[in-house]
Amino acid sequence: MLKYVYLICDRQGTLKHMNPEFISAAFLSFSLIFVGIGGGFLLLKLQGGEE
């Protein structure tokens, strides 16, 4: 999927000078951020249910 996104952006000329590694790192970073936010909400829900 990342290769497909890279090819679409490359055709538009927006990511001509960016490495695929940069796109992979950005995707991983956002994934980890969303996992952290989801885990935080889950912990808040669990703590709220105990009270």
pLDDT, residue 23, reads: 83
pLDDT of residue 8: 56
Does this model's pTM top 0.85? My answer is no
> Would you say 9 and 15 are in contact if contact means Cβ atoms under 8 Å apart?
yes
Provide the residue ranges of all domains of the chain, joining segments of one domain with +: 2-50
| Predicted pLDDT of residue 48 | 85
Express each pLDDT in 2-50 by its tens digit.
555 555 555 555 555 667 788 888 899 999 999 999 999 999 999 986 5
Instruction: Dump the DSSP string for 1-51.
Output: -HHHHHHHHHHHTSSTT--HHHHHHHHHHHHHHHHHHHHHHHHHHHHHHH-
